[in-house]
Amino acid sequence: DQQVKQNSPSLSVQEGRISILNCDYTNSMFDYFLWYKKYPAEGPTFLISISSIKDKNEDGRFTVFLNKSAKHLSLHIVPSQPGDSAVYFCAATMADRGSTLGRLYFGRGTQLTVWP
């Protein structure tokens, strides 16, 4: 049962434009969301996260938006650069595990390609 879904397996964007990656979740208990970037033969690298008490978090070129009522989040990359080409994973968790992040539920990823 996929509780976190990334329905677009791929996205192609021109350099300098905005990339928007989408993610939907089904479990209303999720209260913390993360985005990771992954290159081939490497482990995922943390990009940005958002708590359910917020609807937006920004870090440089990366902004994550959370719409709790729609159970939807999105990652905006502005401006996109060729080095951003990678697989992007959305992940979610819930704070009932006490003092650790515990289990992350991942989407299946979106391959972003930024072309010059």
Residues that bind another protein (CB under 8 A): 31-32, 34, 36, 41-46, 48-51, 57, 89, 91, 93, 95, 97-109
Half-sphere exposure of 61 (CA within 13 A, CB side): 12
| Cβ at position 56, least distance to another protein in Å | 11
Q: Which is nearer to another protein, 40 or 116 (CB)?
A: 40
Nearer to another protein, 42 or 83 (CB): 42
Q: What is the separation, in whole angstroms, between the first and last Cα of the chain?
A: 38
Measured distance CA(20)–CA(110) in Å, rounded = 10
Contact present, 68 and 53 (Cβ < 8 Å): no
Smallest separation (angstroms) from another protein to the CB of 38: 8
CB-nearer residue toward another protein: 69 or 99 = 99
Tell me how far, at minimum, the Cβ of 17 lies from another protein, in Å.
26
The encoded tokens of residue 12 equal: 């192609």
CA distance 106 to 86: 16
